[in-house]
Amino acid sequence: MDRRNFLKTLAAAGAVLTVKSNGMMDVMASTVPSGSAQNASDSQADLVAVMNGEPAAMLQTAMKELGGISRFVKSGNKVVIKPNIGWDRTPEQAANTNPDLIVELINMCKEAGASEIKVFDHTCDNWTRCYENSGIQEAVRKAGATMVPANEQSYYANAEIPRGKNLKNAMIHKAILECDVWFNVPVLKNHGGALMTASMKNLMGIVWDRRAFHSRGLHQCIADITTFKPAALHIVDAYRTLATNGPQGRSASDVVLTKTLFASTDIVAVDTAAGKFFTQVNERIRFEDIEHIPDAEKLGMGTMDLDKLNIKRIRI
C-alpha cells in the first residue's frame, strides 16, 4: 500500500478515521464528542469501537462500556486468552496480536479473581519462534499468566460441532475445552484465502487439523467453528493493521497504523464492523466477498445489522 496515496476516510460502525499523507491520523466519531469516552450514554454497549489510543487504554475504555471485566470473569474462573500468534513476526509487522493488549487483558482477569490464565495459539510458523518473536511469550510471563503449547496433537481432543454445516467435528485444544471462560483476541489483517482475519478466522487456531477447513469449504468451516463454545468476548486488535500481503506481510509498507480496537460479545457484529473498516483500509477487497460473516449469521451466531445494536464510538 502506498501511504502517500492513502488520503481517504475509513468508516467503521459509524466511526471515522482520516489517514493523512504523513501517516498521522485524525480520529473522529459522529456520535461521541471529541476526546470524551465519558460522554457516551450510560447503557451497556453491544459493540464498542475505540480509536486513537494505545492498546491498553483502548481496552480499558471498551471494557468499561461493555460492563466491566467482572461481567465476564468471576472469582476462581479458569480463563483462556486466544490471541493470534501464528507467525514468526515482531509486533511492528502486525501479523500477530499486540502483546500490550494481551498484558492488559491478563491484568484485568487477575483483578477479577481468575484462578488461572492460559494463553496459546496453534501457530503456522515454528511455535517457539512465534511465541518469542511476537513478544507475547515474554509479556505473558511478566504479567503472571501461563503460555501453553499447541504444537502437538496430544494437546487436543475430539469434539462434536452439532450446529456445523460442513465442519461436524474437530480436534479442539484442551485449554478451550477445560476453561470456564475464554477471550478471542485476534489482530485485524489481510488473509489470502479468507480475505480478512478477525474474530472468526482466529478460531482456526484452536483446532488441530486446519486442512479440513480448506478441503470442506473455508468460509463455511470458519462460520461452523464459531458455534463451538463461543468466547465470552471478541476483542479485535486494529492498533496496526496488516492491510496487504497477509497473513504474514512482506514489508513495512503492508502495515497501516490505525490505532483502533473493536469489542463485542457478538462475533458476527464485531467482524462486520471490523470488516467494513478493513475494506476501507484495503479497497481491493469487497466486504461482500468475506463470506464467512453472513455464513455465521445464518447459523444464528449474531447480526450483521449494526443499526439494531447499541454501539459506542469513542475517541480517546
Amino acid identity at 312: K
CA dist., res. 21 & res. 179, Å (int):
46
pTM of the model: 0.89
Domain spanning 3-315, CATH class: alpha beta
Please state the domain extents for the chain: 3-315
C-alpha cell, 86: 501464528
Question: From CA 177, how far away is CA 315, in angstroms rounded?
Answer: 37
Q: Mind spelling out the 3-state secondary structure of the chain?
A: CCHHHCCCEEEECCEEEEECCCCCEEEEECCCCCCCHHHCCCCCCCEEEEECCCHHHHHHHHHHHCCCHHHCCCCCCEEEEEECCCCCCCHHHCCCCCHHHHHHHHHHHHHCCCCEEEECCCCCCCHHHHHHHCCHHHHHHHHCCEECCCCCHHHEEEEECCCCCCCCEEEEEHHHHHCCEEEEECEEEEECCCEEECHHHHHHHHECCCHHHHHHCHHHHHHHHCCCCCCCEEEEEEEEEECCCCCCCCCHHHEEEEEEEEEECCHHHHHHHHHHHHHHHCCCCCHHHCCHHHHHHHCCCCCCCHHHCCEEEEEC
Q: Kindly report, residue by residue over 245-273, the tens digit of the pLDDT.
A: 999 999 999 999 999 999 999 999 999 99
**d(Cα 74, Cα 287) in Å, to the nearest integer?**
37
Where do we find the cell 492488559? Answer: 104
Give 88-138 pLDDT, tens digit per residue: 999 999 999 999 999 999 999 999 999 999 999 999 999 999 999 999 999
What was the pLDDT predicted at 42?
Answer: 60
- Residue 92: partners with Cβ closer than 8 Å, 6 or more residues away: 240, 252, 255
* CA torsion through residues 134, 136, 137, 141, sign: positive
Q: Cβ of 56: how many Cβ atoms within 10 Å?
A: 17
Write out the chain's pLDDT in tens, 316 residues: 333 333 233 333 333 333 332 332 333 233 222 233 433 446 899 999 999 999 999 999 999 999 999 999 999 999 999 999 999 999 999 999 999 999 999 999 999 999 999 999 999 999 999 999 999 999 999 999 999 999 999 999 999 999 999 999 999 999 999 999 999 999 999 999 999 999 999 999 999 999 999 999 999 999 999 999 999 999 999 999 999 999 999 999 999 999 999 999 999 999 999 999 999 999 999 999 999 999 999 999 999 999 999 999 999 9
Q: Round to whole Å and give the CA distance between 243 and 29.
A: 22
Question: With pLDDT > 90 as the criterion, what percentage of the chain qualifies?
Answer: 86
Q: Tell me how many degrees the CA angle 207-303-244 measures, rounded to the nearest 5.
A: 60
Q: What is the rounded distance in angstroms from the CA atom of residue 40 to the CA atom of residue 43?
A: 9
